[in-house]
Structure 1
Amino acid sequence: MRLSRITAYGSSLLLAAGLTLAGAGAAQADSSTAAANYVALGDSYSSGVGAGDYDGGSGDCKRSNNAYPVLWAAANSPASFDFTACSGAVTSDVVNNQLGPVNSGTSLVSLSIGGNDAGFADVMTTCVLQSEATCVARVEEAKSFVTGTLPGRLASTYTAIRDKAPDAQVVVLGYPRFYQLDGSCLAGLTEVERAAINSAADLLNETTQKSVADHGFAFADVTGNFTGHEICSGDAWLHSVNWTNIGESYHPTAAGQSGGYLPAFTSAA
């Protein structure tokens, strides 16, 4: 529920700090997946922020035991599994901090990345706390970054992965649309704001998919899996603003990981 502008202002710093990106059955393992040396990279959508049951040893990275990489590994028993995805990661974090386990023997890599580079946290903070016009302007600024700057960052990240794992199958997962338009929400953002945010998610996915194809990787689109489960759908697999655990806001729930991300990755892998 949207707070009044006066009340919300008092929570703006908390929201800005916390938002950073942060029903499929188990797949049966076959000979190729069982032999896989699998490394899961990326941001909070891959680490599982919002899905609960976090690994205490992962600290601020908030790696969840309900995240799709863990679920896939449990179902397929790969030869090895390394989970380095981290809440808040940008493309440079993947290159500089997450590629340690990736090597010439790695046969499968997954990641989601780019949302934080594009300013996910600031966009959502702006839209929740400021005017409709300011929200739309901030979304347009982010979209300009996605088309102008992000492709180069993605290309550098994908090249670094390929250089370290020349024979690996690499699956890049996209992001869901956040809102069902004309849905069940009686308060919160306006329909104009929700539509603008959805359009930014679509553009981010389109831009990512093009870069993925240019590098010969596979793109796993989760938009269809989340259709009917967006915020305002009545059966959301995404958190809205969560003032008691602000970092989980706008992230997939455990159902979103198992019903949205896991089947998309399983199909691509």
Structure 2
Amino acid sequence: MFRAATAVACTIAAVGTLSTTAQASSTDSTQPAIQRVVTLGDSYSSGSGIHRNASSYDDHGPATHSFGHSTRLGSSACQRELDETPGPRFAEQLDAESVFVACAGAVIREIPAQVRAAGIRGDGDGTLITMTIGGNDLRTERDENWPDALLRCITTANCDKPPQNQMANFDEIRRDLIRTYVAIGDQYPDVMVRALAYPRLMQSDRWCEGVLGISRNEADFIDEQVDLLNREIETATNIARVRTGADIRYVSVIDEFDNHGACRFWQRDRYVNDAVFGDSLRRSKLEDGTIREHWTDGPINVSTASFHPSSSGYDAYLDALQGSLTATAG
């Protein structure tokens, strides 16, 4: 979420069945054939978490991508993984075009620029947009972002107790999401939009043995914040669909990630990474406008893969995406 926590966005088993179902849903009389799949959003769409080292990703995007009000570009640029993320894999199954614009660290206000970069044609007929967005917009009462809030929970006791640690801007996020989804639906009335949820990161059992420094109560608190954010995403998609008439829908991933969170140390195949160590890329803009890049590495350098989906987690995302389209067609 989000932008990988320096402090602290799926081939399913039955591929043959999946491909058949995908083709059936895409040719259903009520739904146009999917000719292109556009991947927008943040790190949960770009593929952060698949690799330990930032240097292992396929693409970090252009050096000028995503500058906001500050001069900093984000901890490891876009971290795009083009082969293992749901959008490109689903496009390959359908023999459709894949357009990949998602970038780690993206916030809601950057989605219009991503939409323009995607080059969606006409009214959006035959285009499926998938995205995760909103996690990087979270702020606590003390104005910490989500990665900093996670770091606070790891490094201090009882982070779930102080009022200053509660998320403070869910209403603002909902309004911004509604505005963003409505703009897409108004401009491209025939597009299909699937707003993918965020998974519960921790999923503690009796304790959280998989994440050093996190208690069960703190793990539950973190997952509750994810649930609250997902509720706003779902509400925003419902409102946008009614206002525009476009096929804009929320896709839950709670069932797909169930019992596979970072806390589950003994789980054979966790879908969410705990703290991961590896190299990271940082970009900054000098006074003369030059972009400077430098890599950080070392045994205690926290990787941007931390608290992001593993490869198996992205499998689960693809499963959820496919299921949402099948349910809609049915």
TM-score (norm 1): 0.83
The equivalences for 1:201-216 within 5 A come to 201-216=226-241
- C-alpha RMSD over aligned residues: 2.4
Structure 2: distance between partners of 1:236 and 1:137:
31
Partner residue of 1:24? 12
The equivalences for 1:106-121 within 5 A come to 106=124, 107-118=127-138, 119-121=145-147
Larger mean Cα displacement after TM superposition, 53-62 or 110-119: 53-62
The equivalences for 1:1-269 within 5 A come to 17=6, 24-25=12-13, 26=15, 27-28=18-19, 29-30=22-23, 32=26, 35-52=34-51, 54-56=57-59, 58=61, 60-64=77-81, 65-78=83-96, 80-100=97-117, 101-106=119-124, 107-118=127-138, 119-133=145-159, 137-140=163-166, 142=167, 144-146=168-170, 148-181=171-204, 182-183=206-207, 185=209, 187-216=212-241, 217-233=248-264, 234=267, 235-244=269-278, 245-258=302-315, 260-269=316-325
Aligned-residue offset at 1:38: 2.0
Aligned-residue offset at 1:265: 0.6
Larger fraction in strand? 2
Structure 2: distance between partners of 1:44 and 1:95:
17
SS in 2 for 1:41: strand
Which residue identity does 2:86 align to in structure 1?
A: Y
Q: Deviation per CA, 1:208-254: give whole Å up to 9, x if none.
A: 11111111221110011111111122231111111335211110001
Structure 2: distance between partners of 1:16 and 1:152:
26
Cα 1:155–1:257 change in 2 (3 A) is: same
CA contact (8 A) 1:48 1:63 kept: yes
Aligned-residue offset at 1:93: 1.1
Structure 1: distance between partners of 2:7 and 2:187:
32
Structure 2: distance between partners of 1:134 and 1:198:
11
CA contact (8 A) 1:90 1:117 kept: yes
Larger fraction in helix? 1
SS in 2 for 1:94: helix
Which residue identity does 2:108 align to in structure 1?
A: T
Structure 1: distance between partners of 2:120 and 2:258:
33
Structure 1's consecutive aligned runs of 4 or more residues displaced over 4 angstroms after TM superposition are: 15-19
Which residue identity does 1:224 align to in structure 2?
A: D
Cα 1:153–1:183 change in 2 (3 A) is: same
Percent identity reads: 27
Aligned-residue offset at 1:206: 1.0
The count of corresponding residues between Structure 1 and Structure 2 is 248
Structure 2: distance between partners of 1:85 and 1:136:
34
Unaligned runs of 5+ in 1: 1-14
Structure 1: distance between partners of 2:256 and 2:203:
13
SS in 2 for 1:247: coil
Unaligned runs of 5+ in 2: 28-32, 63-76, 139-144, 242-247, 279-301, 326-330
